[in-house]
Amino acid sequence: MIDWRAEVEARREALLGDLIPLLAIPSVKDAASSGPGQPQGCHSARALEYMLQLAEKNGLRTAVIDGLVGFAEYDASRMKRGVGRGHRDYIAVLSHLDVVPATGNWSTPPFEPWIRNGRLYARGAIDDKGPAMATLYALKIVKELGLPMKHNVRLIFGIDEETGMTCMDAYNRRQPPPLAGFTPDAVFPIVNAEKGQVNGRIERIAANEERAGGHESADEHTEMVLVSFQSGTAANMVPDEARAILTLKGESDERMQQLQASLERYGKATSIQGSVVRLPDGLVEVRVKGRSAHGMEPQRGINAGLKLASFLNLQPVDAEARSFLNCCELYFLDDCLGERLGIARRDEETKELTVNVGVLAYERGVMSSLVLNIRYPISSDDKEIIGRISRCVGRLGYRWQDVTVKKPHHVSRSHPMIGALQRIYREETGLEPELLSTGGGTYACKMPCGVAFGALFPDRESTAHQPDEYVDIDELMQATAMFARAIYELGNLDMPGVRLS
């Protein structure tokens, strides 16, 4: 009987030694450094190259597709006497090497990995570089033990999971699908259902035309004019900072004091922090601090953009700005469930629909927009959601742009992979392996029979997408042991309709 945990412990220092340099790569999508072979930017390309080089050193066959995704394959036929190369059936383990921006206040620099109190801190530690390295070492253990398997195993590493999953779309265009597989990008025990997503930008239809149509004269009597507003960098994150630039009419010192006092009162009432700062050329900056959270759980954060919009809506601002602020406050402020939009839904399998306003932007006379990330239960209809939102924001002169839909994903509990993973989890942890659902979008949805399996253990703090993201090192080792066993057992699992080579 294999002691999977002992095998992992024998490789603990090596695993951490390989993981720390990977965490030091700031693999945030970067259009400025994109180019041939690196469509997501130089740092994401470097992270993928690093991982595949490690895989090659461990005797795995590697390939890169469109600079977006790579895989490292273990050929099961090598362990089967009399069988040549070309064995095509495979089990997939999918991880991502891209990370979200490291916003907020960190105790240590986010791309300078730091170990303290048994935790490894860095952006990507739990989402998803730590688990990705765990899967490489899990396959390394299976390979080094010389264990026979019926199916090949592919570790697939993408670099566009956080901003669209175009990496897996590229993979699926060029490669046959796996028999089944898992991604270590959620929680244990097993996530077999994912909400659908609707993403898009709502924007003001014709801010320039409206301004030319008469607002300018009304603004002559306005005490404040909103010049610009910015909050958030990604649709799937709750923005934790917001910034507005204003011009104040009248006695500027008195208006500054009034604005500062008003912000202090608002902050006490809403438990946020803010500041008012004088800028050159008669401009004033107002900043608000919120709390970041993953876009699948916006209720865990404080949306700084919506809070700042609500505060400014209490002020005597110009008419053009008022339209933007009204849209923020009327439909989205303190409503993560879509009740005021009329799209609130819930089912027992995947729970409540959620709405996250991840990016808010305004520039006077030029643009006014909000980027939405909506996650809906498997029983809901994306067309109904889109239609209701269109009608609501249309009343305020806004319309949907660049709308994309990701359908819900569900794997039946009767699939043989589910039973195998449940048995592994029960025997390795002593806990009951209940089936879960998530509002998160993982690579599991890109496989016909894909689930999420780890890497976060039940009832543990989730710091994905947050400042001071970390992974508990002992728990990462335990997860690695379960990944190794899962790779071995799924690699030998007979599945309905599968031709075994």
Active site residues: 98, 161
In three-state secondary structure terms, 36 is coil
**Separation CA 22–CA 447 (nearest Å):** 26
Dihedral (Cα; 143, 160, 33, 60), 10-degree rounding: 10
Is the alpha carbon torsion for 451, 358, 168, 98 positive or negative? Answer: negative
Q: Given phi > 0 = left and psi -120 to 50 = alpha, else beta, which region is 326? A: alpha
Q: Strand ranges (DSSP E) for 75-184? A: 90-96, 114-116, 119-121, 152-158, 180-183
Q: Strand ranges (DSSP E) for 378-495? A: 398-406, 409-410, 435-438, 450-452, 455-456, 470-472
HEC string of 304-325?
Answer: HHHHHHHHHHCCCECHHHHHHH
**Separation CA 432–CA 423 (nearest Å):** 9
Is the alpha carbon torsion for 105, 111, 117, 118 positive or negative? Answer: positive
**Separation CA 445–CA 370 (nearest Å):** 26
Residue 356 tokens, joined: 């996250």
DSSP H/E element including 454: none
From 370, 83, 87, select the one nearest 74 (Cα to Cα).
87
Contacts of 58 (CB under 8 A, 6+ apart): 136, 140, 143
**Separation CA 481–CA 153 (nearest Å):** 16
Q: Do the Cβ atoms of 479 and 403 come closer than 8 Å?
A: no
